[in-house]
Amino acid sequence: MAPFNKNVLVINVTKLLGASAEPRVRRFLAQRSPQGLRNLEDEIARKLAQQNKAGWVNEPDKPGSVLVEPGTGAVILRPNGKPLTRSLKKTYMPRAGVDLGLFRAHLEDFEENTPWMYLDKGVVAVGLGHRLIDADEAKQLNFVVRDQDRVAMGPTFIPRVHPKHIENAFIRVRDSELVNADAQEYKKETHIDLPRNEAELVFREDVEQKIDEIGRADKFKDFNSFPQSAKLGLLDMTFNLGVFGTTDIFPIFTGAVTRRDWSTAAKQSGREKATDDRNTAVRRWFEEAARLDPFFITKARETKRWDEFLK
């Protein structure tokens, strides 16, 4: 590794720490004290972090955290070639929860919010992809008689649906001969719908359950501290593929999310079976996250020595 350029080092450190630091820098250069170097490095690291010119990032699967350059993820090294580290893990503060209204509007651009039961990849579903495991689960929902049928039965008709009718509707959809059909085609199979307010409750429960599932996954354990846009992007992936489906099918994407490398996550988030518009929307969410949260570690662990970094 190239030796110090003493004059350049004095100029750059003084520029960062202020004129009062110059005597200490020159004293360190004269004495070459290891402790003096350590103290100087610690002060430089604090100042860089305060000015957002560098930031602390937790070492994956290791104790402590390292100082990195924003945007590139380059680990900043001491002049001896070892990373600038601290023994404490960085504590990521929780951010605002997921904007459910924004996420629902996003899903409705790409998935039908269907009030009647339909088949989704061979599984009975309703609303925005809420899957029904069996008829008993369907009977837990407050289905009503579809509007036009209720009108035909008279204004005093109370649109309560007997559980047996819900079960029959579930069976008809489950056993339907429609193959790979659009959700709209299943309307004729039943005469009952899930009201919009009930569908909204089901959707919120589904999303909250998915968020809890994401947070319990080891790869995404810092989910609560992710920028809102990264939360939305990851939620779209897992809502579509499941948490384990996402980690299994997209390991490079998953690794990038774990390291908070949102630029790489953006590039790796495309799905073959998703529309171009949906992939673009998710990619842009992660690109926004990269602007909001620029501190990460690259997979290749790029490095930059701190006296060179200050130039």
Q: Looking at the structure, do residues 157 and 180 belong to the same domain, yes or no?
A: yes
Q: Looking at the structure, do residues 232 and 185 belong to the same domain, yes or no?
A: no
Q: Looking at the structure, do residues 120 and 162 belong to the same domain, yes or no?
A: yes
SS3 149: helix
Query: CA 132 to CA 199: how far, in whole Å?
Result: 13
Strands 85-86 and 75-77, how do they pair?
unpaired
DSSP 8-state assignment for residue 100: H
Q: How far is CA 276 from the centre of its chain?
A: 19
Q: Which helix (H) or strand (E) holds 300?
A: none
Q: Looking at the structure, do residues 303 and 277 belong to the same domain, yes or no?
A: no
- For the record, the structure tokens of 59 come out as 């070492």
Q: Looking at the structure, do residues 243 and 182 belong to the same domain, yes or no?
A: no
Domain span including residue 234: 227-292
* 70-111 pLDDT, tens digit each: 888 889 888 777 888 888 877 777 677 889 999 999 999 998
* 101-157 pLDDT, tens digit each: 999 999 999 988 999 999 988 899 999 999 999 999 999 999 998 875 444 445 555
The count of structural domains within the chain is 3
Q: What pLDDT shows up at residue 151?
A: 45
**272 domain residue, yes or no:** yes
Query: CA 120 to CA 148: how far, in whole Å?
Result: 25
Mean predicted lDDT score pLDDT of the chain: 86
Q: What pLDDT shows up at residue 130?
A: 93
φ, ψ dihedrals at 123, nearest 5°: -115, 135
**104 domain residue, yes or no:** no
